[in-house]
Structure 1
């Protein structure tokens, strides 16, 4: 069967007629990985990006390697030759300058804990209309976005929250697996992350540290790189995290799957070894209509990186959010409510 014949059989509702023009906010480890994920895609073109010190925009598409090289050399997209722009208000300036961007992936650290909601307000005030996707972790951060529901709807913004790995891919798996049960007793998410060098994901590691006993978001945010390294030296590069404040709980509660107190999230991050310290999985335990107690387990392949398991779903949800937006459906949605669509 030819590619043409195959594409003819794909439902029209899942096809993208014109490539979506996509922006990435944040260009650390996750943002750079997102750019690489987009590079081979035909249904999405990466055209805009911003970091703390500047932004880059190119209507015909940005080059991931070129931007990453400039970022490494100057620690900002402002140094991308010919198209980089220094800015102290990079997100606002990019929104205003980049015309025709259909959606943005917010690959931003939520430090402080109000940051993502503040970024969302920038889009609302700007008059921009389109799709926003984040990979938020904390329950309290999602609750702040819920307070903006009416403003998203009035502004013509379709916002997809918690669309990374966890929350995100594993939350969606739990929502699907729950269908076997008359009652869900527990959802247990356990993740393993391996990275060779913590400095490639500084913001993500600080967010993880914020979940450790004796730390919070502000304390983790204020830590210098030297202080982070000293902490990792004491733990041999391992961060063991238990009973985290993770938005999987509120997302599953909003979807009517189970009360949030039945959801637990924890895991192990190895900051000195790319091999996962343990397999990432979600276990959903419940009672069937026959009265049987059973557990479904969904396990991610150890070969898939954190970046692959975050960025892939994020763009799948961006595509799904775009189809909602095109139908005039605006507001806040979570990864447990909408099925992501594969981006070709």
Structure 2
């Protein structure tokens, strides 16, 4: 896909203003091709067509609990997404929202469809079942004129796309193994993300993790010394690679370690793609992320790269649902 020339900045909104939402605002600040104009959380939204100031919005959120308190551009609302969509000009949104319950992202997508808004949506969904729910909305998204790119974070996302590219060396893919290491100094900066990880632990599920109080999460992390170790996760990398024709989902495995008390990664994040070449040789490609790149950098950067790609698709009249394994992200300058 030829990179479109950006004549005026893409107006971008961020829905959800927890750890990822705040990181997204910081990622957008130096970008000339994108202008951050909208943000929303449970209690309100902020909108400025000339661009929001990330420091001011983050300060407002930390001090008063919502971006809706921002002066003079904040509005308190219990229907923040609906109100923001009503009459604000935004080209695309990054859905930095916790997918708790597991139907939440599909519910948000339906809200966009019903609103009559047309533009680009990008999410960083994790679970296979959540992506399956979005697949059921393909026709509705297309008819609504919405270009939706799903699974566009780190994994699924960056590592899934790397696997799709690396697979080209082979005639047959035997396995795709994704292993991630995440280090954060304080779990409370990423409450929703940590709860989603807990939901993958044995004896836990989405509803259990969602219902946990902060005190209960802290008590669990005390028992594990701050470590969350995960194996054979329900991760949408599998369905994305299957949809892209790379391999069947049963050949894809995802697991990793999250250290909630140390910003250093407990292990290097990587994807290993093993297959057979046309000469009959068995080999493995390994793509490893630099340990210095944070979870936020590896999620938000690709998300906006895919949002830019989504804008290019929409300008060509292409709407509907796409995944990170189908579309190349475009670097946002």
- Deviations, residues 31-64 of structure 1 (Å, cap 9, x unaligned): 0000000000000000001001100000100010
Q: 2:331 aligns with which of 310, 319, 342?
A: 342
Q: Partner of 1:8 in structure 2?
A: none
Say whether the 8 Å CA contact 2:3–2:330 is kept in structure 1.
no
Q: How does 1:153-192 map to 2 (within 5 A)?
A: 153-192=142-181
Q: Does 1:214 align with 2:203?
A: yes
Computed over aligned residues only, the root mean square deviation of the Cα atoms, in angstroms, reads 0.8
Q: Does 1:195 align with 2:189?
A: no
Stretches of 4+ aligned residues off by more than 4 angstroms: none
Q: Partner of 1:7 in structure 2?
A: none
Say whether the 8 Å CA contact 1:252–1:336 is kept in structure 2.
yes
Q: Does 1:24 align with 2:48?
A: no
Q: Does 1:91 align with 2:81?
A: yes
Q: How does 1:1-344 map to 2 (within 5 A)?
A: 13-99=3-89, 101-344=90-333
Say whether the 8 Å CA contact 1:193–1:276 is kept in structure 2.
yes
Deviation at 1:179, TM superposition (A): 0.1
* C-alpha distance in 2 between matches for 1:75 and 1:14: 38
Say whether the 8 Å CA contact 1:137–1:166 is kept in structure 2.
yes
Structure 1 alignment gaps of length 5 or more? 1-10
Deviation at 1:15, TM superposition (A): 2.3
TM value normalised by structure 1: 0.96
* C-alpha distance in 1 between matches for 2:151 and 2:195: 18
Q: Secondary structure at 1:136's aligned position in 2?
A: coil
* C-alpha distance in 1 between matches for 2:28 and 2:187: 23
Deviation at 1:74, TM superposition (A): 1.1
Deviates more, 1:15-24 or 1:103-112: 15-24
* C-alpha distance in 1 between matches for 2:177 and 2:65: 38
* C-alpha distance in 2 between matches for 1:213 and 1:299: 27
Deviation at 1:97, TM superposition (A): 3.4
Deviation at 1:82, TM superposition (A): 1.3
Say whether the 8 Å CA contact 1:14–1:341 is kept in structure 2.
no
Q: Secondary structure at 1:40's aligned position in 2?
A: coil
Q: Secondary structure at 1:14's aligned position in 2?
A: coil
Q: Secondary structure at 2:325's aligned position in 1?
A: coil
* C-alpha distance in 2 between matches for 1:281 and 1:71: 34
Say whether the 8 Å CA contact 2:10–2:33 is kept in structure 1.
yes
Say whether the 8 Å CA contact 1:21–1:47 is kept in structure 2.
yes
